[in-house]
Amino acid sequence: MAPGNESASSVRIEVTSARHKYSVIVGAGVLQQARSLMEAASLSLPATVVSSAPIWTAQGDRVSSLTAGDPVLMADGERAKTLRSLSGLYDAFAGRGIDRAATIIGFGGGVVGDVAGFAAASYLRGLTYVQIPTTLLAQVDSAIGGKVGVNLPTGKNLVGAFHPPALVIADPTVLGTLKRREFRAGLYEVVKYGVIASRPLFERVATQVRKLLSRNAETLAPVITECCRIKADIVSADEFEAGPRRVLNFGHTIGHALEAVTSYRRFRHGEAIGYGMLAAAHISRARGLMPQGDADAVSELVHRLGPLPGVADLTVADVIDATTHDKKRVAGTLHFVLSAGIGQTQIVKDVTRAELEPALRAIGLS
């Protein structure tokens, strides 16, 4: 299938990487065309699908025609994003005799995508990889850009690689089986894109919360598409996070620290980012970068998408200490993303403990 021949209701977004250009196809029902899309991209079939048991049980029939055998199943959830899970995939690939002509498909949420992607990046020194994300967060964020990896006990995503997919297929219809909490967690990442790059996107989410939470496909598709366009533009300009791509980390410095201090048990990733955005907005407002009205709008929208897990038992000191292990530190300096108003960002290197402490207390830490 040549570019442009996918269904009229789908959108093709091109992403440029150092290795190749790849397409992100977004549209309700586009997963029905997965085989022809892969063939058009000259990807070898049958492929090896990596998924998790719940996802495969609920949605596996949608991609079963892409694989000649059973999928490789791994545990899901942030606690499964480990070197042990990675080793399990290596063993499965070796047991199946996978060679360098193989195509690996990550069919799942962000954890499945990140671990399967890292396995593809490193097994036999690199295999072709396709992302078919099944969560909102993965569709709008983690499936695009080629950042794959696993966590260590000391921090999130400390072991990984840049390994761009050959194709991303994002079909909003697979989101219908997501648990409500998991779906809401993805909406926090959507809010992030509005805050960093698009006031119209932010306002669309704010005015359509009810429809978005109902998984209305006509409402979801343009929102997902806009997030994908924003990320595609950013990563095409800065694939290896040397500068501009860092804006995607808005809310992530504190969010990752919250995940680490709770051993990846308490928060969905998007929920931690929700708290991180509140803290970043507090610092931005205190510095005079972000208008009070915008800071209030971010706080109101984040809380409307809640409830968020409690943080009153967590200490400011522990969370600040966790930020010292953040992978975004360069030469000992932490790059922190602040907001200069909804739709604008500023990357700084001088956020102090004196600024972090009141911001963390403002979001409820002790």
Positions marked catalytic: 125, 147, 189, 231, 241, 245, 249, 252, 256, 269
**Which one, of 83, 141, 155, 93, lies nearest residue 113 by Cα?**
141
Q: What single letter denotes the amino acid at residue 190?
A: V
269 is written with which tokens?
């990733």
| CA distance linking residue 349 with residue 334, whole number of Å | 6
Look-up: residue for tokens 């598409």?
225
DSSP at 354: H
Q: Give the closest residue to 115 by CA, choosing from 172, 70, 161, 183.
A: 161
Write the DSSP string, 152-212.
ETTEEEEEEEE---SEEEE-GGGGGGS-HHHHHHHHHHHHHHHHHH-HHHHHHHHH-HHHH
Quickly count helices (H) and strands (E) in the chain: 14, 13
Q: Judging by DSSP bridges, how do beta strands 72-73 and 128-133 pair with one another? A: unpaired
Place of tokens 């997501």: 178
Beta strands in the chain (DSSP E): 11-16, 21-26, 48-51, 72-73, 103-108, 128-133, 147-152, 155-162, 167-170, 329-330, 333-334, 336-339, 345-348
Distance (Å, rounded) from C-alpha 148 to C-alpha 134?
16
